[in-house]
Amino acid sequence: MFMAAVNTQTSTNNPDVVVVGGGPVGSYVALHLAKLGVKTTVFEEHHAIGFPSHCAGHISIRSLRGMGLYPLPRGIVENTFCTANFYSPAGTKFSINLSCPVTVVLNRAHFDQYLAGQAQAAGASFVLGSRVQSLLKEGISVRGVDVVQTDGGDQKVYSKIVVDAEGVSSRLLRQAGLSALKPRGLVYAVEAEMENVQNVEPNAVEVYFGKSYAPGFYGWLIPRPDSSAKVGLATNTGNPQEYLKRLMTKHPVASKQLAKAKITSIGYHAITLGGPINRSYADGFLAVGDCASQVKPTTGGGVIFGLTCAKTAAEVASQAIAKGDLSSNILKNYQKRCHDQLNFDFLVMLRLRRFLDSLSDERLDEMLRVCGKLGVDKALRDVDEIDFQGKMLLTAARKPAMAAALAYFGLLYLSANP
């Protein structure tokens, strides 16, 4: 099993950059800052990196490879997938079978520890059990953080730039003078570790759509070879745990797959689907990852977009420090570069999310049947891009079946949103 050694007793004297949060995004910012020679300290409120884990860890191989993160060391990848089975609430199935594995499911705790270990090896310091309570400010400029150790003690740490990678809790945004995450963009997730899952293909992820089981999002089952699985869903209304119970007992397909399943652990966490926040920089401050809502509005996947923006944040912060200008005038380049890279995909995915949210369960059933009849599965067979979904759709739309399906979806969308 992979275990990163992360210092807990590291000096916090005068870092150039303080990073708030030792999740994947915080560690990846720290890794790139350290590689650029910037003195960096990461504060993580928990005593261990990667815990508690709240994420399914379903990630595209192509994107990981593009970042130089694939292949990963042993013990991080739990399974690989070349098939996705989509179900309507009535049990209609539509499958996409790809020619080779396109996604992996990661042990998120081990992945987070791996990234933290890489950052530490590059020279970044990690201080665990240390919660950033507030930002230190001079006028409108952020100048550092006030840190509270969980075993007592309070410390002021001054820096040139603070990078906020605190995740969806996003408590520091307002202190920096930025807007908080929009509550309307949030869905509330439950994810359980389950044993003894039956009737699943070993290399297929299961996706359960529909307002009856997961209003505002979907349910998922991600199997491992040993018949265990990560099973979860998110909703924009009601109690996610009640919906999970309903999925396990009432869904025509999931109830059979989970009839004998045993829940070994369960966790709850919010997912932000509203698209990137309007402004993710201030004087001496950058917001990255979930706290900046750099998350795919369709699937809730935030690791790849968060890491993409993390690298950009490190580059812009390092340039600002080298120039001796930490003002928002320089730091706004971070937002511009992220926007140039991701905005088209975000716009497409926000519309797709609205489209999916607008469909009744009956329409969803019809849609999956139509996808099957039109041969959308064959049109998507060569797809290996699942993160940058705007660009992916542009490519796929060149195939007649996909073009016909998109025209049909467009009509459905217009009839649901006159």
Ligand X SMILES: Cc1cc2nc3c(=O)[nH]c(=O)nc-3n(C[C@H](O)[C@H](O)[C@H](O)COP(=O)(O)OP(=O)(O)OC[C@H]3O[C@@H](n4cnc5c(N)ncnc54)[C@H](O)[C@@H]3O)c2cc1C
Q: Which two tokens stand for residue 280?
A: 């993710």
The pair of structure tokens assigned to 107 is 């042990």
Using the rule CB under 6 A, is 110 a contact of ligand X? Answer: no
- Could you write out the DSSP letters of every residue in 101-154? --EEEE-HHHHHHHHHHHHHHHT-EEE-SEEEEEEEEETTEEEEEEEEETTS-E
Beta bridge partners of 262: 195
Tokens of 123: 């020279």
Query: Binding of ligand X at residue 185 (CB under 6 A)?
Result: no
Give the span between the Cα atoms of 280 and 298, in whole angstroms: 21
Asked if 210 interacts with ligand X (CB under 6 A), we say no
Least gap, CB of 259 to ligand X (angstroms): 23
Which of the stretches 40-48, 153-161, 323-331, 391-399 binds ligand X when contact is defined by CB under 6 A? 40-48
Q: Are 271 and 189 in contact (CB under 8 A)?
A: yes
Q: How far is the CB of 374 from ligand X (least distance, A)?
A: 28
Retrieve residue 168's tokens: 């969806």
Of positions 44, 206, 283, 345, contacts ligand X by CB under 6 A: 44
Nearer to ligand X, 86 or 405 (CB): 86
- Taking CB under 6 A as the criterion, the residue among 15, 26, 240, 276 binding ligand X is 26
Residue 376 interacts with ligand X (CB under 6 A)?
A: no
Window 313 to 372, contacts with ligand X (CB under 6 A): none
Q: Which stretch binds ligand X (CB under 6 A): 86-94, 161-169, 257-265, 407-415?
A: 161-169
The alpha-carbon radius of gyration of the chain (Å, integer) is: 22
156: how many CB neighbours lie within 10 A of its CB?
12
Q: How many residues bind ligand X (CB under 6 A)?
A: 37
Between 44 and 78, name the residue whose CB sits nearer to ligand X: 44
Min dist CB 274 to ligand X, Å, is 13
Residues in contact with 366: Cβ distance below 8 Å, sequence separation at least 6, in sequence order: none
- Residue 270 in 3-state DSSP? strand
3-state secondary structure of 19: strand
Among residues 301, 309, 314, 396, the one that binds ligand X under rule CB under 6 A = 301
Q: Is 25 in the site for ligand X (CB under 6 A)?
A: yes
Residue 21: φ, ψ to 5°: 105, 125
Taking the complex as a whole, the smallest distance from the CB of residue 365 to ligand X amounts, in Å, to 25
CA distance 359 to 123: 50
d(CA 133, CA 97): 47
Nearer to ligand X, 41 or 257 (CB): 41
Closest to ligand X by CB, 25 or 194:
25
CB-nearer residue toward ligand X: 292 or 405: 292
Of residues 132 and 412, the one with the C-beta less far from ligand X: 132
The stretch near ligand X (CB under 6 A) out of 50-58, 114-122, 207-215, 351-359 is 50-58
Quote the least distance from Cβ 330 to ligand X, whole Å: 23
Q: Which is nearer to ligand X, 240 or 402 (CB)?
A: 240
Report the residue from 169, 241, 333, 341 that binds ligand X according to the rule CB under 6 A. Answer: 169
266, β-bridge pairs:
192
Is 160 among the residues that bind ligand X (CB under 6 A)?
no
Residue-wise DSSP of 293-339: T-S-TTT---HHHHHHHHHHHHHHHHHHHHHT--SHHHHHHHHHHHH
How many Cβ atoms sit within 10 Å of the Cβ of residue 37?
Answer: 13
Give the nearest distance from C-beta 21 to ligand X in angstroms.
3
Interface characters, 266-295, with ligand X (x: CB under 6 A): ---x-x-----------------xx----x
Residue placing its CB nearer to ligand X in the complex, 39 or 296: 296
Mapped onto helix, strand or coil, the DSSP state of residue 23 is coil
By CB under 6 A, what part of segment 111-150 binds ligand X? 131-132
Among 46, 182, 224, 351, binds ligand X (CB under 6 A): 46
53-92 residues in contact with ligand X (CB under 6 A) are 54-59
Measured CA to CA in angstroms, residue 111 lies from 64, 66, 208, 233, 343 at distances of 12, 16, 26, 22, 27
Contact flag: residue 300 with ligand X (CB under 6 A):
yes
Residue 224 interacting with ligand X (CB under 6 A): no
Q: Tell me the C-alpha to C-alpha distance, in Å, between residue 171 and each of 97, 129, 179, 275, 326.
A: 41, 18, 10, 18, 22
Contact 53, 22 (CB under 8 A): no
Catalog residues that contact ligand X under the rule CB under 6 A: 20-26, 43-46, 54-59, 131-132, 165-167, 169, 189, 191, 232, 269, 271, 289-290, 295, 300-304, 306
